[in-house]
Amino acid sequence: MYDLQILINILLTFVINLLVANSYSLIYYPTKFFHIAHAAVITLSAYFVFFFANKLSIPFWPSVAFAITAAVSIGLLCEVLVYLKMRRRNVPALAYLIASIGLYLVLQNCISLYFGDDTKIINTAEVTVGHQIFGAYITTVQLVTIAVSLVLFVAVNLFLQFTATGKSIRAVGSNPELCNIYGISSNKIILTAFGIGSALAATAGILSAMDTNMTPTFGFNLLLYGVVAMIIGGVGSTRGLIAGSLLVATAQHLAAYYIDTKWMDAVTYIILILFLIWKPLGFSGKRLKKVEV
Amino acid sequence: MEYILHLLILICFYTLLSQSLNLSAGFTGLISLSHAGFYGIGAYITAILSTHFGFSFWLNLPLAMLISGAIAFVVSLIALRTVEDYFIICTLGIQVILFSLMNNLMNVTRGPLGIPGIPSISFFGMSLDSKISFLTLSLFFVALVWFVLKNISKSGFGKTLTAISEDEIYTQSIGKNVYQSKIISFTTSAILAAIPGALYAHYISYIDPTSFTVNESIFILSIVIIGGLGNLTGSFLAAAFLVLLPEVLRFVGMPDSIAANMRQIIYGVMLVAVMMTDRNGFLELEFQRKKQKMR
């Protein structure tokens, strides 16, 4: 019966990783830089729920809606106030990454200052034992997490495939200058991508915080797992995202089971490094960029 | 007075750290987030050698530099297969791996318990217990590293490194071995990072993994960027500024708990500001020059 429990745990980590990786690649694909402050969006959304629901005693569902809106605004503000201005001056990807580390530091420390560094729990109704399936336990929150993540993943990918906006996001990803020539404003499209990506990340943050608990830095780890999943899956490939997230989740839980939970992080990065050595283009084999000139 | 000396010693440590990182990040353009990891290796090697085997500082230091360099060499062989932002993510991964080794190898590093009881440095039979004598020793190393880095940057090899940071492909086309130069630069920078590591272990006499986290790496990188890439004096000034910043904040009446967070917020804002404006953003100017050349 222990095996089934591991499978459920892998599935849970997988869907959260998938959601984060998807939200991240949505932003990474059109912009081509690492938006580290995305981690702060993940963390902020969970803390906003905590703030609205526990401090202001607003009912749960409206606070979730407010929290996602607030977190999305933070994501959009990063783009409008910082990245957009940098893009006008045409700086290299490295400069965005450093600026985003700066943004992350600011946002994360604001959370630490206001809420404190201790572990917080979002109170949702009453604590339940969870449903028993063939001897393994799964809580309602976990069931909701799996359902919501998978639905969002499918919805976002259908959106990217079949709607005009979704196609524009992919078009901007493959060639922003040509898009501008054809009358698609790449800045508007990137702003849209930031909006949708931040909303997905906010959802992932809330789900993850409700399942376990939260500290001001939990988003950073979550984001890094997503980034690793995206890189080993290959950028811009849906199947790659699934494979990458699954591999990361499986490796983490097997490492936790066979070695020790404290090695989970190290194992994740060892996989990343192994991929960078033997398969630098990820599962999908798409070119990263700049590697070949 | 003791406290002022303590601050001066800290400034020495961060000057050493940021200047050594400046060799790879500033001169060569290899922005790395694993510097605290190599700093930690230096500190741990020193701590283990002196507590288990009773080695003196003068034997620990070269060994720590050697091991840190060897690890950096292996790491650079892997990490340098990637470029620019992928390189940063790769070094971030290496930092996390190094940290979890320090935190989890209980039988070697004692994990989160840390290693206590590291003896202080003795110099020809006299013990450098007092802060003033330790400061003198630190200043000696700062001067030495500064001198070495200044000379590297002026040498032909230094010019190759600058050329790599400006235009990698062009540098390769004139027959320079780019990959090899990058490896040397990255390894040297890690070797130099072991010096403040060894000093730190002997100075504080107790080390634990929390001094060598990702945040510490980000802090060291921030010093380098705020001071200006490739600017050794800038690194020193930025290190002094950021070390003294919490003291200034405390002086204007901010409680300790807030001062630590405020410092991070302030250097976060400074990072964004440097990246957004042309002023002070040395990296910025460097890349613009590169762009103009290509047009």
**pLDDT of B11-36, one tens digit each?**
999 999 998 998 888 788 888 888 99
User: Measured between alpha carbons, how far is A235 from B203 in angstroms, rounded to an integer?
Assistant: 46
- Six token digits for residue A211: 């399942």
Out of A175-189, B121-135, B175-189, least confident range:
B121-135
Alpha-carbon distances of B149 from A88, B19, B65, rounded to whole Å? 36, 8, 16
- Mutating which of A32, A87, A101, A265 best tests the B interface, going by the most B Cβ atoms within 10 A? A101
- Cβ neighbors of A61 (< 8 A, separation 6 or more) are none
User: Measured between alpha carbons, how far is B42 from B45 in angstroms, rounded to an integer?
Assistant: 5
B277 touching A (Cβ < 8 Å): no
**Between A134 and B247, residue with greater pLDDT:** B247
Cβ contacts of A106 on chain B, cutoff 8 Å: 264-265, 268-269, 272
Cβ contacts of A269 on chain B, cutoff 8 Å: 93-94, 96-97
**Cβ contact A86–B275 (<8 Å):** yes
Beta-bridge partner residues of B126: B123
Q: Does the pLDDT value for residue B287 go beyond 70?
A: no
E-assigned strands of chain B?
122-123, 126-127
Q: Residues B292, A87, A26, CA angle at the centre, nearest 5°?
A: 130
Residues 131-170 of B with CB under 8 A from A: 169
Say what the pLDDT of residue B295 is: 37
Say what the pLDDT of residue A123 is: 66
ipTM of the complex: 0.83
pLDDT by residue (tens digit) across B80-116?
877 767 788 888 888 988 898 888 887 777 877 878 8
Q: How many CB atoms lie within 10 A of CB A241?
A: 29
pLDDT by residue (tens digit) across A191-236?
988 999 999 999 998 888 888 888 888 888 889 888 888 888 877 7
- The residue behind tokens 């600011």 is A106
- Cβ proximity of A215 and A120 under 8 Å: yes
Share of chain B above pLDDT 70, in %: 92
Q: Give me the mean pLDDT over the A176-190 stretch.
A: 83
B225 touching A (Cβ < 8 Å): yes
Question: What is the pTM for the complete model shown?
Answer: 0.86
- Cβ proximity of B270 and B260 under 8 Å: no
Report strand pairing: A136-138 vs B126-127: unpaired
Q: Does the pLDDT value for residue A291 go beyond 60?
A: no
Please give the DSSP secondary-structure letter assigned to residue B237. Answer: H
Report strand pairing: B126-127 vs B122-123: antiparallel
Cβ contacts of A35 on chain B, cutoff 8 Å: none
Q: Give me the mean pLDDT over the B118-144 stretch.
A: 79
- Six token digits for residue A228: 């690793």
**Between A252 and B107, residue with greater pLDDT:** A252
Q: Give me the mean pLDDT over the A70-80 stretch.
A: 89
Grade residue B39 by pLDDT with cuts at 50, 70 and 90: very high
- Cβ neighbors of A81 (< 8 A, separation 6 or more) are none
Closest by CA to B63, choosing from B43, B78, B82, B35, is B43
Q: Is B60 exposed, middle or buried (0-12, 13-18, 19+ CB in 10 A)?
A: buried
Say what the pLDDT of residue B38 is: 92
Q: Is B212 exposed, middle or buried (0-12, 13-18, 19+ CB in 10 A)?
A: buried
- Cβ proximity of B161 and B27 under 8 Å: yes
> Quick one: angle between helices A60-77 and A186-211, nearest 10?
140
- Cβ proximity of B236 and B15 under 8 Å: yes
**Cβ contact A102–B268 (<8 Å):** yes
Burial state string for B61-86 with b = 16 or more CB within 10 A and e = fewer than 16: bebbbebbbebbeebbeebbbbbbbb
Grade residue A1 by pLDDT with cuts at 50, 70 and 90: low
User: Measured between alpha carbons, how far is B183 from B162 in angstroms, rounded to an integer?
Assistant: 14
Helix (H, G, I), strand (E, B) or coil at A56: coil
Say what the pLDDT of residue A10 is: 86
User: Measured between alpha carbons, how far is B256 from B251 in angstroms, rounded to an integer?
Assistant: 10
Say what the pLDDT of residue B119 is: 77
> B267 CA to chain A: closest CA distance, Å?
7
Residue of B78, B258, B287 lying closest to A276 (CB–CB): B78
Q: Residues B161, B164, B165, CA angle at the centre, nearest 5°?
A: 90
For chain A, give the mean pLDDT. 82
Cβ contacts of A102 on chain B, cutoff 8 Å: 222, 267-272, 275
Closest by CA to B144, choosing from B249, B20, B235, is B20
Grade residue A290 by pLDDT with cuts at 50, 70 and 90: very low
> Which range has highest mean pLDDT (A140-149, B156-165, B179-188)?
B179-188
Residue of A96, A113, A269 lying closest to B258 (CB–CB): A113
- Six token digits for residue A62: 């409206």
Say what the pLDDT of residue A104 is: 92
Cβ contacts of A273 on chain B, cutoff 8 Å: 78-79, 90, 93-94, 97
The nearest alpha carbon in chain B to A220 belongs to: B214
Beta-bridge partner residues of B167: none
End-to-end CA distance of chain A: 53
Say what the pLDDT of residue A288 is: 46
Residue of A94, A113, A228 lying closest to B84 (CB–CB): A94
- Mutating which of A252, A270, A273, A287 best tests the B interface, going by the most B Cβ atoms within 10 A? A273
> B221 CA to chain A: closest CA distance, Å?
9
For chain B, give the mean pLDDT. 82
Say what the pLDDT of residue B263 is: 83
Q: Does the pLDDT value for residue B291 go beyond 70?
A: no
Report strand pairing: A131-133 vs B122-123: unpaired
Q: Residues A191, A193, A199, CA angle at the centre, nearest 5°?
A: 105
Give the DSSP H or E segment for A75.
Answer: helix A60-77
Cβ contacts of A272 on chain B, cutoff 8 Å: 89-90, 93
